[in-house]
Amino acid sequence: MSGNSAVVVGGGIGGLAAAIGLRLAGWDVTVVERADVLDDAGAGISLAANGMRALGALGVGEAVEAAARRQYTGGTRTPDGRRLAAMDGAALERELGAPIVGIPRAALHRILREALPATSLVIGSEVTEVTEVTEGDTTRPPRVRVGVGGTTLEADLLVAADGINSRLRRRLFPTHPGPVHSGSTVLRAITERPVDGLKADFEITWGHGAEFGHIAFPDGTAEWHAVLNAPAGVRYRDPLTEVRRRFGRWHEPIPSLLAATRPEAVLHHDVSELATPLPSYVSGRVALLGDAAHAMTPHLGQGACQALEDAVTLAAALAEARTVEDALARYDAARRPRSQTVARDARRAGRMGQQLAHPLAVGLRNAAIRLTPPGAMVRTVLRHADWTPPRIVPRAAWTQTDDAA
């Protein structure tokens, strides 16, 4: 199906990727983003092979690879620097057919944005209302009317990519409990300069109820994140001093990463998730996508990768199916089981990793990891990275033979 129109609510990674995919499927797309500046400057992000393959299907894989650093070296350590598990990213790349990379979010966002015509982006506007328009006319397919500020947009499809606190999800699934606090809080930043002695491309270190990790970038700077067990809403007067107090005596390069960070660069967020899975990712002519559909904890580094998978799957279904309803049913069937499994596994990974606090339990876990064969733990973390994107082939591009089949 092509020649139709869609409004995408939210210009995050998921919304922009969906817009690129829908355009490849032959749809007219408008992205509405409430922020004044379309720039997810957050910090950095790891993209596993599945995310990279999704970006490849959207035609931006090479640009992302060029702006990213391949994660070949690193793994997991204990605070005194002892190795728990090593990562061989080159071997994983050969196995999975795509690299695992680290990239500043701002760079990823820019690449996605630049793959769309500026005219398809409406920035600084909040979607406040959505209604299905049938007007009693059963001869016409239903359309969706979207209230944006003082005006309205009408389209054949609405993609709700409005993030973890999705207003559209609340409106469509009013009895769903919404996001809940995971028990963790995260402080993170990008260093202001390259960090001396930064050897590992990606590394995490587990203490007791605490994790410190870094993602290195091509220019030698890095993002670091410090995750702590903490009640919702905890805030520190001076976040960088607090991170130094808790992690400053952990192994190198942690002190060097913190020394290369400006205090005002530190971001602090509680980690929340949709612990209760949604009963559907579709309601009428609305498809939920990304964190709006399946916000998960970051312990497997899969939230954005799953949003990218959503985007490609939705676009491929819309390109292929004969009706929007059929495409949305396929999208829901393909995406809900997989992304909800990944979300569940991310929660479990957090409980066995960063959140594990009792010294005995931590000791037993570490001993068990050391007994596993080399690479086994990294493979467990990356078990969801093996995913092949569907092809986005607009019906107009089908050959006569394809159509007959």
Provide the binding-site residues for ligand FAD, judged by CB under 6 A: 9-15, 32-35, 45-46, 51, 126-127, 161-163, 167, 186, 225, 271, 290-292, 298, 301-305, 307
What is the rounded CA–CA span in Å between residue 391 and residue 24? 10
What is the rounded CA–CA span in Å between residue 144 and residue 177? 25
CB of 305 to ligand FAD, least distance (A): 4
The enclosing H or E element of 28 equals: strand 28-33
- What are the backbone dihedrals phi and psi of residue 215, each rounded to the nearest 5 degrees, phi first? -125, 115
From the list 129, 176, 157, the residue with the least C-alpha distance to 280 is 176
Question: Would residue 148 be called left, alpha or beta, if left means φ above 0 and alpha means ψ between -120 and 50 degrees?
Answer: beta
Question: What is the bridge-based pairing of β-strands 151-155 and 157-160?
Answer: unpaired
Question: What's the sign of the alpha-carbon dihedral 326, 328, 334, 340?
Answer: negative
Instruction: Compute how many other C-beta atoms are within 10 angstroms of the C-beta atom of residue 264.
Output: 9
What is the rounded CA–CA span in Å between residue 12 and residue 164? 11
CB of 373 to ligand FAD, least distance (A): 25
Question: What is the bridge-based pairing of β-strands 121-123 and 28-33?
Answer: parallel
From the list 392, 353, 359, the residue with the least C-alpha distance to 183 is 353
CB of 196 to ligand FAD, least distance (A): 24
Is 211 or 320 the residue whose CB approaches ligand FAD more closely?
211
- In the block, tokens 């980690």 appear at 271
Half-sphere exposure of 282 (CA within 13 A, CB side): 18
Q: Are 14 and 110 in contact (CB under 8 A)?
A: no
